[in-house]
């Protein structure tokens, strides 16, 4: 019998600055919350293990340089606008997509339960 504790589903776990105002946004069709002043990268990684899936291999991507130089953290708004997650501030009500495939709704339904 294993006594291992399952990993938290998020890549980042917030341990400081928890007093900032909460704002909501939609991530892959699911309404979630982050804190005012967060970048998209921080907001997404406090919700899931990676920023997006590679459009070439479907491999998870989580950002690389974190300063806006490497092109690894691009995500899209629901209207298709490309956004650099590491340097774009989160705004109330943003609607973001981290996957561009037709299966993203099913993936999120399983994660939300």
Per-residue pLDDT of 26-50, as tens digits, reads 999 999 999 999 999 999 999 998 8
User: How do residues 12-24 score in pLDDT, each as one tens digit?
Assistant: 888 788 889 999 9
Report the domain count for the chain: 1
Q: Report the C-alpha gap between 26 and 106 in whole angstroms.
A: 16
Residue 12 domain flag:
no
In three state form, how does the secondary structure of 42-98 look? HHHHCCCCCCEECCCCCCEECCCCCCCCCCCCEEEECCCCEEECCCCECCCCCEEEC
Mean pLDDT for the chain? 80
pTM of the complete model: 0.75
* CATH code at position 65: 3.10.20.740
Query: Domain range holding 34?
Result: 22-102
């Amino acid at each position: 019998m294993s006594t291992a504790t399952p990993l938290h589903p998020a890549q980042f776990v917030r341990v400081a600055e928890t007093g900032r105002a909460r704002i909501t946004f939609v991530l892959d069709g699911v309404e979630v919350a982050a804190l005012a002043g967060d970048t998209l990268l921080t907001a997404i990684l406090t919700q899931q293990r990676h920023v997006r899936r590679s459009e070439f291999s479907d491999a998870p991507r989580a950002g690389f340089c974190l300063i806006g130089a490497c092109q690894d953290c691009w995500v899209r708004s629901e209207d298709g606008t490309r956004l650099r997650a590491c340097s774009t501030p989160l705004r109330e009500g943003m609607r973001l997509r981290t996957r561009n495939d037709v299966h993203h709704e099913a993936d999120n339904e399983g994660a939300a339960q």
